[in-house]
Structure 1
Amino acid sequence: MDNRDEVSAFLKSRRAKITPEQASLPVYGQRRVPGLRRGEVAMLAGVSVEYYTRLERGNLGGVSDSVLDALAQALRLGDTERDHLYALARAAGTGPARGQRRPKKATVRPSVLRIVEGLRDQPAYLRNRRMDILAANPLARALHCELFETEPVNTCRFVFLDPRATRLYPDWERVAREGVGALRVEVAKNPYDRELSNLVGELSTRSDAFRTLWGAHDVHVFTEGTKRFLHPAVGEMELVHETLDLPGDEGLSLTVYSADPGTPAADALQLLASWAATQQQETAAKQAESER
């Protein structure tokens, strides 16, 4: 798999976002291109125009770390964008034998599953690099009750293909942008993950919003932050979330939601737990009735 188109589009998109004023460059006459010219980026990075042109055509194979650092500085890349550039450089020129032809299928170890299920007062779930949720505790299932109505459970499919997502997430635009950015990071790291590529292709075909955001070439890494929910049974709540990668399980990460004690969000979580318990009781009663 050749990633030259991906490299080229990313570098062009970053160059287009920087104005000469931001780069402390003089402006003469009318400019025909948005952002910086190739020659200006080359000058800022300390390389020749011919060399930068080769890079922007997608040829990052064999590029040194010092050049990548200079390029990242010239394009004013953030930490996540810089890491993305390095991931693209590592993947450049690697064939299936050296790349990742078939990444190992992620499995949930029993000890990790016990951690997820042991967080009884906090919604917690485990996901893979394709945004499939592999395990979740009851409170997480209650928080994302509509998401868990579909199989396989995939957060990006829900965000872009289920109209209920715009109601569940009042800040849907931000949620959507971050989800696409996270997928973009994973594609650069795992260019030979066929299921990941298929997911991107499916969402690009079925969602105009996804296709537009994907074309922006923005990147994102989930760490910590806040997210607002408008739950169909509990109402609005704003929760803190932490996402932790599992070093012993490549490609898996644990996401946990919480609320500060004594806040409306904490009260909403308690109400959500009561609602979830009631739902479980009703489901168990219906199942027992059907088995009679």
Structure 2
Amino acid sequence: MDNRVEVREFLSSRRAKLTPDDVGLPDVGQRRVPGLRRGEVAALAGVSIEYYSKLERGALGGVSTSVLDAIARALRLDDAERSHLFNLAQAADGTSDILRPRRRTKTWTPRPSLTWVLDAITGGPALIRNGRMDLLATNSLGRAMHASLYERTPGPVPNFARYTFLDEDSHRFYPDWDTAADTAVAILRTEAGRDPHDRLMHDLVGELATRSDEFRRRWSSHDVRLHGSGTKTFHHTAVGELELAYESVDMVSDPGLSLTIYAAEPASPTAEALALLGSLTATLERTEPKSRNA
């Protein structure tokens, strides 16, 4: 991905989201486009308009941390957006390749000890994915919850983004499909900024942009997010609606991968549905054992 284009579009899109009133400035004169003017951002950041304009044109190479912080404050960037800006700056000056932990280029398979850890999580679904949203490994409940995703994937490794945008079944699985779609794109955009030279990411984004208007529209918004915790609702074909809390953590031992664990509120309808799903899964595994890892 062209770093200068990414920088330009990201900064200009963040600037377009703000109004003078948002940042305590008077609204003076007619504005040709929505949002703050470059000069207003420059003033808020304490830099010259010439310098800020240069940065917004994509020339982030060599910019200091203090200037990046000032721009992040001026544009009211949240934690995910600020991190994305710093990732773009690292890519611009070449330091991202030095700072980024080495990632495996071969097909990833879970260590036996990691499989044991997944097996030990019995109260809720658990899964491991990478930044491209490939579903790499699960526990039994995780596999059962995503049964449709596995069944409808033509290749060996399911991908949440492909499923969301290229398979109509995703509208059934995600009752709030728009939020799921927004989240998927924001995760991909965040990962693209973190690892701009990932060829497989380039291929995935190109495929989705070519085949899905919904993806292409969301991708152009340049929204990013840190996928840490929250609540999601799913609709499972066997047990119905599941409203699950989740926590996601980056895996220090496997850079670029994250572990997500889902849990239901105790004594809730979802807890009962998960118990039923677990019972169905145990029965199925006794009769037809399956690998839980892609």
TM-score, length basis structure 1:
0.92
Work out the CA distance in 2 between the residues paired with 1:19 and 1:191. 31
Amino acid at match of 1:123: P
Alignment of 1:21-170 (within 5 A): 21-94=21-94, 103-105=103-105, 106-149=108-151, 150=153, 151=155, 152-170=157-175
Letter in 2 for 1:104: R
Residue 266 of structure 1 and its aligned partner are, at CA, apart by 0.6
Instruction: Assess if the C-alpha contact under 8 Å between 1:2 and 1:92 holds in 2.
Output: no
| Partner secondary structure for residue 187 of structure 1 | helix
1:51 aligns to what SS in structure 2?
helix
Query: Are 1:272 and 2:277 an aligned pair?
Result: yes
* Residues 41-71 of structure 1 deviation map (CA, whole Å, 9 limit, x = unaligned): 1111111111011000001000000000000
Which of 171, 186, 189 is the aligned partner of 2:176?
Answer: 171
Q: CA deviation at 1:95?
A: 8.8
Gaps of 5+ in 1: 285-292
Deviation at 1:83, TM superposition (A): 0.6
Is 1:254 the counterpart of 2:238? The answer is no
Is the contact between residue 38 and residue 49 of structure 2 (CA under 8 Å) also seen in structure 1? yes
In the alignment, the residues of structure 1 paired with residue 211 and residue 285 of structure 2 have an alpha-carbon distance, to the nearest angstrom, of: 34
Aligned position for 2:292 = none
Distance 2:66 2:158 in 1: 42
In structure 1, C-alpha distance between the alignment counterparts of 2:29 and 2:35, rounded to whole Å = 14
CA contact (8 A) 1:2 1:93 kept: no
Deviation at 1:85, TM superposition (A): 0.4
Match of 1:181 in 2: 186
1:19 offset after TM fit, Å? 0.4
In structure 2, what is the equivalent of residue 190 of structure 1?
195
Contact 1:99 1:191 survives alignment (8 Å) = no
* Cα distance in 1, alignment partners of residues 168 and 214 from structure 2: 12
In structure 2, the CA distance between the partners of 1:22 and 1:275, relative to structure 1 (3 Å rule), is: same
Check whether the contact 2:90–2:96 (CA below 8 A) recurs between aligned residues: no
- For 1:195, give the aligned amino acid: L
Deviation at 1:222, TM superposition (A): 1.1
Deviates more, 1:247-256 or 1:110-119: 110-119
Is the contact between residue 103 and residue 193 of structure 1 (CA under 8 Å) also seen in structure 2?
no
Distance 1:259 1:217, change over 3 A: same
RMSD: 2.0
Q: Assess, with a 3 A threshold, how the Cα gap between structure 1 residues 95 and 25 changes in structure 2: closer, same or farther.
A: closer
Q: Secondary structure at the match of 1:126?
A: strand
Normalising by structure 2, report the TM-score. Answer: 0.91
Alignment size in residue pairs: 284
Gaps of 5+ in 2: 290-294
For 1:246-267, what per-residue CA distance to the aligned partner results, in whole angstroms no more than 9, with x for missing partners? 1111011111111122111111
Alpha-carbon distance in 2 for matches of 1:99, 1:208: 35
Kindly state the Cα deviation for residue 127 of structure 1 after the two structures are TM-superposed.
1.0
* Aligned AA (1:116): L
Q: CA deviation at 1:16?
A: 0.2
Q: Give the Cα–Cα distance (whole angstroms) in 1 for the partners of residues 62 and 29 of structure 2.
A: 37
